[in-house]
Structure 1
Amino acid sequence: MRIVVLALDGVFDTGLTVALDAFSTASALSARLFGGTPRFDLTVAGVRRRVRTAQGLTVPVKPVTPGLRPDWVIVPALRATTPAALLPALSRPDVREAISQLLKWTAKGAQIGASCIGTFLLAEAGLLDQQEATTTWSLAPFFRQRYPHVRLDESRMLVPFDRGVTAGAAMGHLDLALWLIRQASPELAGTVSRYLLADIRSSQAPYIIPNHLAQADPLILRFERWSREHLREGFSLQQAARALATSARTLQRRCDAVLGKSPLAYFQDLRVEHAQSLLRRSGHNIEAIAAEVGYADGATLRTLLRQRLGRGVREIRAELH
């Protein structure tokens, strides 16, 4: 499998190196344990002769030439943690040139993988239009606003689409690399996971901070504050809208546009977040915690935790030990 890792100035150091380490580990283990196949032919390429990481390290890159014909192209993230930092980065000449090159490679049949901020380059190229995708959860509201034709689900860690795969935030680079290794050999991917003490995660949901997402919109931020004060009560869209001096329709529309979910779903996210906090720092039983976050019984809360986080009460409490 011929893989090109397309490095740009300001690339997120860990994202780049963790992907390179995963593929190089896979190649080494393949040669030692699996008779030399499958092998990953890895090239770090750049649209500029010199590439420096976000931490100022120089990355040795090969130029993009017509003879470079990858099966897969991996786009590591730029280190831009806010819309204000990301917007000018997306307009840089080297980034626009990289986007143009991605389109040329896909036209020749290459598959594209990107994680975290790297997914923005795929969206800029139009490769994700009408496709399901994920991205870094922390910039999901901005992504949703900028690319309304992408079916975004930031709760997922990995989302394949017809031209490749997108992955979630930061260490999602490792999940992306392991996913790609698994496409070549599930057995090899399992071995690499053991060597690196890493597993593919199915969800970003346990890592999402609802308050961070609410900062993207004044109405959503007010709704979040109101919700936290009313977690023990049954949710009423009409009551929330009246308290916020808006209409139920407007609140529904803004939640969908910013968060990609209904007001009730976000309200439940806050309940889950508070329940997790109580499970970790208190000795209360599940019935008491359920009452604290507005559920009639512990069974309902157990089901919600399992659905949203993929973990049960014992697993959440075990995280402290």
Structure 2
Amino acid sequence: MHTVAILALDDVIPFDLSTPLQAFGMCVLPDGRAAYRVRVCAAGRRVSAGAFTIEAPHGLDALADADTIVVPGTASDEQSPPAPEVLDALRSAAAAGTRIASICVGTFTLAAAGLLDGLRATTHWLAAPHLAERYPAVEVDADVLYVDNGQVLTSAGAAAGLDLCLHMIRRDHGSAVAAHAARLSVMPLEREGGQAQFIVHDQPPSPQGSALEPVLRWMEDNAGRDLTLDEIAARAGTSPRTLLRRFREQTGTTPLQWLHRARVRRAQYLLETTEHSVERIAAQAGFGSPTAFRDRFKRVTGVSPRAYRRAFH
């Protein structure tokens, strides 16, 4: 079982701490088994979390056999680096190949340990100028939700930390497990943000129990066809104008934009589970041409179909 160690430093931000606890702790595999063993670690027994204190069951030695270490932000991250023994433990883990991720201003801890030198990283946009000034060897990008450098990952604000956790779950266990984890966290299926997300979940958002639900299921089943607005409206038994209004009210998007997301999701599934060529997947997913497929796919996910397959096949 994959072990996740959450490093709680003094003055830890409670929401930053609870984000990985929830995402990894509630994550289950298709057969119902827990996907991760989660440990909370700290340099000392008690850790301040603002209005309360917590007792960490594990010390820094537990970082040595973790597969992933998550470093939440602290209220003092921008003012002073953590204790030397904490930085040494992170450096040792990195040297051993452990995956290390930060949430929000937890990026400052990774930077203090020298783990981000020469790498692109992000943090909360308010703290980004300070990070760039304090650690000039780090390429700070304040316009994205998270940055994945392979072994070392960083996220922006606390909510973006959940995006990052879901991204790591998907890397470890695939899209279906990540989608289930997102639903348990009541996470929006797609977020607007500076970085297009790898994770476009099982299907685009659909309002359960609404009058649109039957037509949305039909659109999902027929995403490979060249559906028109008039055809969708006829299926829904309404006019195109009324359909557009209801779609915006209930899904926050238009029928054709919803359909594009469904096609991208179908293409993701085919890229993950088959050896089909890009040309064949473009046709199966309902894109007019391989070029249109590549353009739309990269716009939604931020990567090309080929790069996506390398990452998630």
Task: Please classify the TM superposition score into its range, dividing by the shorter chain length.
Answer: 0.5 to 0.7
Judged with a 3 Å threshold, the aligned counterparts in structure 2 of structure 1 residues 47 and 201 are, in CA distance, closer, same or farther, namely farther
Q: Which residue of the partner structure matches residue 175 of structure 1? A: 163
Q: Work out whether residues 72 and 111 of structure 1, in 8 Å CA contact, stay in contact via their aligned partners in 2.
A: yes
Matched, 1:188 2:188: no
Amino acid at match of 1:98: V
Judged with a 3 Å threshold, the aligned counterparts in structure 2 of structure 1 residues 194 and 129 are, in CA distance, closer, same or farther, namely same
Q: Which residue of the partner structure matches residue 95 of structure 2? A: 107
Q: Which residue of the partner structure matches residue 3 of structure 2? A: 2
Q: Work out whether residues 27 and 177 of structure 2, in 8 Å CA contact, stay in contact via their aligned partners in 1.
A: yes
1:176 Cα shift?
A: 2.0
Structure with the larger helix share: 1
Looking at structure 1, the residues matched to 6 and 32 of structure 2 have their Cα atoms a distance apart, in angstroms, of 22
Q: Work out whether residues 104 and 124 of structure 2, in 8 Å CA contact, stay in contact via their aligned partners in 1.
A: yes
Matched, 1:52 2:48: yes
Amino acid at match of 1:78: T
Q: Work out whether residues 5 and 63 of structure 2, in 8 Å CA contact, stay in contact via their aligned partners in 1.
A: no
CA deviations 1:69-119 (Å, max 9, x no partner) are 111100011024xxxx7323x2x53xx321111001111110100011100
**Structure-to-structure mapping, 1:12-51, within 5 angstroms:** 12-27=13-28, 30=29, 34-36=30-32, 39-51=35-47
Judged with a 3 Å threshold, the aligned counterparts in structure 2 of structure 1 residues 66 and 26 are, in CA distance, closer, same or farther, namely closer
Looking at structure 1, the residues matched to 107 and 121 of structure 2 have their Cα atoms a distance apart, in angstroms, of 8
* 3-state SS of paired residue (2:154): strand
Q: Work out whether residues 101 and 152 of structure 2, in 8 Å CA contact, stay in contact via their aligned partners in 1.
A: yes
1:162 Cα shift?
A: 3.6
Looking at structure 1, the residues matched to 5 and 161 of structure 2 have their Cα atoms a distance apart, in angstroms, of 14
Q: Work out whether residues 77 and 117 of structure 1, in 8 Å CA contact, stay in contact via their aligned partners in 2.
A: yes
**Structure-to-structure mapping, 1:91-102, within 5 angstroms:** 92-93=82-83, 96-102=84-90
Looking at structure 2, the residues matched to 7 and 50 of structure 1 have their Cα atoms a distance apart, in angstroms, of 10
How many percent of aligned residue pairs carry the same amino acid? 29
Judged with a 3 Å threshold, the aligned counterparts in structure 2 of structure 1 residues 62 and 45 are, in CA distance, closer, same or farther, namely same
Amino acid at match of 1:148: P
Q: Work out whether residues 99 and 151 of structure 2, in 8 Å CA contact, stay in contact via their aligned partners in 1.
A: yes
1:195 Cα shift?
A: 2.3
CA RMSD between the two structures: 2.3
**Structure-to-structure mapping, 1:172-251, within 5 angstroms:** 172-184=160-172, 185-199=174-188, 201=191, 203=193
Judged with a 3 Å threshold, the aligned counterparts in structure 2 of structure 1 residues 164 and 7 are, in CA distance, closer, same or farther, namely same
1:173 Cα shift?
A: 2.2
Q: Work out whether residues 22 and 178 of structure 1, in 8 Å CA contact, stay in contact via their aligned partners in 2.
A: yes
Matched, 1:75 2:62: no
1:23 Cα shift?
A: 1.1
Amino acid at match of 1:57: T
1:37 Cα shift?
A: 5.3
Displaced runs of 4 or more, over 3 A: 199-202
Matched, 1:127 2:115: yes
Q: Work out whether residues 50 and 61 of structure 1, in 8 Å CA contact, stay in contact via their aligned partners in 2.
A: no
Aligned residues: 194
Amino acid at match of 2:105: I
Judged with a 3 Å threshold, the aligned counterparts in structure 2 of structure 1 residues 49 and 194 are, in CA distance, closer, same or farther, namely same
